[in-house]
Structure 1
Amino acid sequence: MSPAAPVIDLHAHSTASDGTDTPAELVSAARQAGIDVLAITDHDTVAGWAEAAQAARSEGISLVRGIEVSTTYRDASIHVLGYLTDPDDAALMGELAKARDSRATRLERMVDLMAADGIPITYPEVLAQVAPGATPGRPHIADALIANGTIRHRDEAFRDWLTNESPYYVSHYSPDPVRACELVRRAGGVPVLAHPFTRTRGATVTEALIEQMYAAGLAGLEAFHRDHGPSEVERALALARRLGLVVTGSSDYHGTGKVNRLAEHTTDPEVLAVIESQASGVTPVVRP
């Protein structure tokens, strides 16, 4: 009998950005979920890497160190997963720092707008929800509203107040997705477009844009994801075949911040091998 294929989940978040598990808790949860290889991919930061790597060795699972780069295209938010980048690459780290700083000032403006309209929220309450060194984001506003008893779950805040169409929405700086692919590649990493055809975003991500990203170094598409139905999966698979891109599957786990469950979608070992073979950063997969 051949051994079972490893369970690989290449998209998960910790308290270093907008997840609710610390990096160590995330790794422990992954092991309990039967995962053999986990990627930590916090938004615009590598702050959780060291803790997650130490936990991975202790828990006996492999860790792929990654990031999720926030990008903007035609006023829509698009996310590029970058695997195995050099955390000391000045160009990429500088761009991520600029994005994080913009997120922080943007949240304060959003909170001011919400409070002026009678929503019980203050900026210090939001800051209390952001872990030291974490990337601040809209989920932390939701967490503050949960903490003060206004709502019970993040979904309520995003449904009523935190969408891009909300009167309280404030944009923040982020690179365009083509630039993000270039930055990840120059940092020795491997870029994969996260949930490209998510049904909650509309038709923002076009095949023409993905072709431009491919020319800039895009390696793959996250086809198997909770936000993709059968038609979106097939569209991603067809495009990947045409361009010669790898296809990943991931949970996009955020702890209790989203309904997504670890390993609800997974990636084939052959795909991870391709990603590793293309990486030239200084952060290889941490093996148990």
Structure 2
Amino acid sequence: MRQRVLTGVAGGAFIAAVTYFGGTIYDFVYFGITCIAIYELSKVFFNDGFDYGAIVNYMFAIALFVEKATKYQHFFDLFLFLYISINFLVFVFNKKTDIKKVSEIIFIGTYAVFFMYHMMLMNSSPYVWLVYIIAFGSDTFAYFTGKLLGRHKLYPEVSPNKTIEGAIGGIIGCTFLSLIFFNYLSINKYFYIIIFSVSASVFSMAGDLTASKIKREYGIKDFGYLLPGHGGILDRFDSVLFVAPVVFYFVQYFL
């Protein structure tokens, strides 16, 4: 537990500092996190962090990083088309590649690369803090509510310790924190904020359950050992991956 707390405090301080300063360093850090996530998932799916399926996703991550860090931001659609097309062509012309392999490659590209890309899109935006507030706040409220009041299992086949009461506590806590955040920014669209907060909290839990289901299906405890006491990058950022797009599109279309 002591090691877990120390890692959490040090890691949280590092990410907070990187987010506060923003800029190129922020993009580089999240590009690095994306590549580590690709490596971890590739080790799980292909038993090789540098399998050609992993390399295709590293290239996709590089393309999106370059697209974000330069003036060529209108190239996203082209890069996405090329990424999908390359995977389909490999499937057609490589006899050793079956539909399962292609599905796993595109799963990694969607889950680790595309979802995380939204964190880069919010570089220097105040709303990037909302991602952390929802992802970690929802998890914290759910944990303590579950410990105190948890009686009914939420999804025991995937995550035996999660409870319905904990999930409700996470949603309520997330909504409370979001209202404080938006009030600080003098935004009072309370109806939208409440709908958003509930949805974002559900997505945060879905991110956690997605990671848990992958680990359960492949018989692993953690995705890696990079973060002592926590596991791998995906063990810590599983909720962030799902929350980031929700925050980004809410801000884009409803504020």
**TM-score under structure 1 length normalisation:** 0.26
Q: Which has the higher helix share?
A: 2
**TM-score under structure 2 length normalisation:** 0.29
